Structures are given as structure tokens and as C-alpha cells.
Amino acid sequence: MRIFEVYRCNKVLMIDAMGEMTTETRVNAVTEAVKAASESLADAVTESTLLELHKRLGHIAYDTVERMADTPGSGIRLTSRERPNCLTCAHGKQSKNNQSKKDTGANAPIDKIGGVIGSDIKGPMTPRDRRGNKYLINFIDYSTNYVRVFLAKNKADATKEFEHFLVYFEKRFNCRIHVLRTDGGKEYVNVDPFCKETGVRRQISERENQASNGKAERMHRTVLNVARCMLFASGLPLYFWGDAVEYAAFVLNRTSCSANPKRMSPLEMLTGKVPNLSDIVMFGSPCTAYRDPGKKAWKSRAQVGMIVGKNDETKGFKVYLPKDRIVITTQHIKHVETLDSKQNAQLQAQLEREDPELKKAVEEREQAAERKEPVAASHTTARMLGVIECLKEIGIKVRVPSLLHVDNQAAIAQLKGEDTTGHAKHIDTRHKFVKDFVKKKVLLINYCESKKMRADVLTKVLPAPRLTELRGLVMLSG
């Protein structure tokens, strides 16, 4: 009997029963044992191709399947490592191809200033801004992330705004626009003739592929996020969103941009100079603006207003004057962020979204609506009395009192002189004669529900069922 003890990784010490010791190499000692062990393990291993195992494991990635099969103790031995395209995976898991962040068109000089200009339109926006605009048209330089936002009343204005942007951008930054990249919207169709005249190449992104014009698409979100914060913090009415959007673009062009080298601002990329931030003020902040008094010696030289923007094409600030309800552009302002707005009733009212002049106009309109019903009833009464007199002259008897249907109870109270709210004081005296005929029992005023108002047959376009119903009421009353 022999006993083997392994003392080193490459040697085996052999000891027999007589105590004799000999040394042989490890290969000679364990070859047969390893061979026997391998044969026993082979009986427990399942052979499979990579594709078969891929299907058995629920169509997971080939790399994962191969790594699992090669793990010791997995019980799998791959007989083929071929990776054919799996049609089931295509039906179940295929997605859009990844888009290059650098370029989605051929030969587009995106690293050159003005090389590629992206544009997109957003809208319609509600409500319209104070100038009646409801669309945003942006233009962004892919190289520097410089952006200009234009406001438009119609999508068709895209061509006009691009002409404006091209002349401004090329002249100011001494460069040339090579490519205009837009989506396939019809609003850009009219841009083609202008692009051919100026040598600008058009690139149209795929309709369902937002990534191909991603900068322009994403810039809308960036600009609107900043504009919303500005507008909400200022307390100005929502129809100032157009001014907020323009000012947001003005600010973004002067702030650090993570997409640019060394986080430079777009203007620094274009001009090589760090932008001066001293003329950037809070949107909607109070100020006093110089107003020319003319020849009036005692007229105020300044008016309190709110700064609502500044753009690249004007040297002055845009200032909203609540008293005159206008926006002016002027350099002659004194910025007073610490101004107590309560000292100026007009300014405070505007900050609270209650324009005194607008409030007065609304009240006048409401009073006009209150006068409408009694005045209409008085005119009807006058004509009805005239008809009654004519009928009497030709010998036709008329039922007394005559019946007047009114569908407004407040108007009835005013016509009868029973109004206690004071609203009747706005009605001219010449319309108040009706109450005299009511007292004489010549006229009887009757309340009628609006849905049964017979006069609607003559004054409104009615559905056929209601027209038939009201015509029946007219015949019955006749």
C-alpha cells in the first residue's frame, strides 16, 4: 500500500510501507486521477449552442448568455458560439437607432460659427401676448448655443423672421450661415426660395425623430422654464409672456453654458469677450423712466414703471408704464429694486394684476349691460303704445292692459320703479316713463323664462324643435 501526500504545487512526495521515499513530478502522479475526474464531470454537462441557450433564457443578450455558460459549475458546454440575428428579439425589443450628438446630416459644419442653425416653432400659446402673438420661433447656433427668439402671430412668419435673423447674425458676428436645420413643417416651405438665393443649405429632420433637431426642440423648454419663473416672480399679467421669453433668451446668451468649452457663455464664444452682466436686472423690477414734459413746466419729469426686457438690437430697456398702459424703450431710467411699490397706486394695482383703468372699463361695461334690458323694454313699450293708438283709430278694439314679456327680473323692478339697488340711476330719465303706464294699468309687465321668450323667434337663429315650440306659444297667445 502506498500513500501520496502533496507538499508542493509541482512535486509529489511518495512514501511506501517500508518507509522508502521517492519524488516524481506532479503530472506523472495525478494524470490518471484528473482524467478519471474529467470523464465523470463530462457525464453531468449539457451541450448546447449559444442560440439555443439564448432562447431558453428568454432571449436575453448574447453576451450575458455566453458569460453564464462559461462560469464553472454552470453545467453547460457551448458547442457553437455563433450569434445570428434573432427575429423574435427584433419584434419584441427593437428601438430607434441612437442618434449622433455631433451631426445628423451629411457634411454639416457644426463646429463652425453659423455652420448649422436649428429652428423650431412652438404654439399656439394661450393667452396671446400683449401684442397679439401666439407663436415662438427660435433660431439656435449649434456651435455656440446662441439663441434668438422671435414672436409671431402666424406660422407663416417663419420665413420673414429667418431673413431677419440671417442678416443680423451674419453682420454682427462676421460669419456666414451654411445650413438651416428644421422639421418638415409646412411653415418652413416658403423658406426654400430664400435659402436658394442666399446659398443656405436646407436640412429637414425626420418627422418622428426629434433627436435630429434636438437642440432647437430642447431650447424651447429651456427658454420657457426661465421665462415662466421671471413672469411668476414679477406678478405681471400672463399676457406679458412674450416680453419674458425675449428677455429669457437675452439672459441665456450671457450665462454660462455647460455644452460649450470651459462652460463659456454663447456671447463669449462668438465675441471672445466676457459679457457685461451689470445691465441685467430682474424682470418686472420697478424703475423710474424719464418722460419729456414738453413745454409744461410743472409736469413730472419721471414716471414709475416696470422693466420688462432688453434685447440685442436696442440699447435701452423696455419699460411698462401702468399709468399710460404702454411699453416704451428708453435708456433714461433709474433702476430702483428697493422701491416700495405701495407708494404708487398704479404700480401696486398692476403688480396685483388689477389695472384700475381696466377695472373701470369693466364696471362701465357691466353698467351698460344692466341698462340694456330696461332700455330695450322702454323702446318696445313706446312702439307698442303707438300700434295700439293706430288700431283704435281704425276701430279695432285692443285688450287692456297690454302684456309685455320680459325675461329679466332686475329689469322688471327698474321698469316698475321698484329698484332699490341704485342701478337705475344710470338709465336716462326718458326711458323711465314705463312705470307711469304700469300704474295706469295700461301696461302689464310679465316675467317670462328665457327659454320661453317669444321674441327669440324674430331675433335669434334657433334649432328646429325650439323654433316650433316658440311658434306654438306665439299662436296661442294670439
The whole-number pLDDT of residue 426 equals 55
**What is the per-residue pLDDT for 139?**
93
CA 321 from chain centre, in angstroms, equals: 27
Q: Which of 294, 291, 296, 298 is nearest to 323 (CA)?
A: 291
Instruction: Let me know: does 117 contact 201? Beta carbons within 8 Å.
Output: no
Q: How far apart are CA 342 and CA 331, in angstroms?
A: 25
Measured CA angle at 353 (ends 347, 359), to 5 deg: 90
Write down the pLDDT at residue 369. Answer: 56
Rounded Cα distance between 55 and 57, Å, is: 5
Quick one: which of 197, 193, 200 has its CA closest to 170? 200
Q: What ranges do the domains of the chain cover?
A: 3-91, 116-271, 286-354, 370-447
The x, y and z cell numbers of residue 115, run together, are 455652420
Please state whether 394 falls in left (phi above 0), alpha (psi between -120 and 50) or beta: alpha
The whole-number pLDDT of residue 420 equals 56
For residue 274, what is its C-alpha cell? 466676457
Phi, psi of 334 (to 5 degrees): -120, 115
Class of domain 116-271: alpha beta
Cβ count near 366 (within 10 Å): 11
Give the pLDDT of residue 35.
63
- pLDDT tens-digit profile, the chain (478 residues): 444 444 444 444 554 444 554 555 445 555 665 566 555 555 567 788 888 877 777 777 888 878 878 888 777 888 888 888 888 787 777 776 665 544 454 556 777 888 889 998 988 998 899 889 999 999 999 989 999 999 999 888 888 899 999 999 998 888 899 889 888 778 888 888 888 888 899 888 766 566 667 788 888 888 999 899 888 888 888 889 999 999 999 989 988 888 888 888 899 999 998 888 877 888 888 888 888 877 777 777 888 888 888 877 777 888 988 878 888 888 888 766 545 544 455 555 554 544 555 566 656 666 665 566 777 777 777 888 888 888 888 888 777 777 787 777 777 777 777 665 655 555 656 656 777 777 788 778 888 887 778 777 777 777 888 888 888 877 655 4
* Long-range own/partner contacts, residues 408-412 (CB < 8 A, 24 or more apart): 408/373, 409/447, 410/370, 410/373, 411/373, 411/374, 411/377, 412/445, 412/447
Encode 269-281: b = buried (16+ Cβ within 10 Å), e = exposed.
Answer: bbeeeebeeeeeb
The one-letter amino acid code at 299 reads K
Amino acid at 260: N
Residue 53 has a CB neighbour count (10 Å cut-off) of 19
Strands of 147-152's sheet, edge to edge? 147-152, 135-141, 116-122, 179-182, 201-204
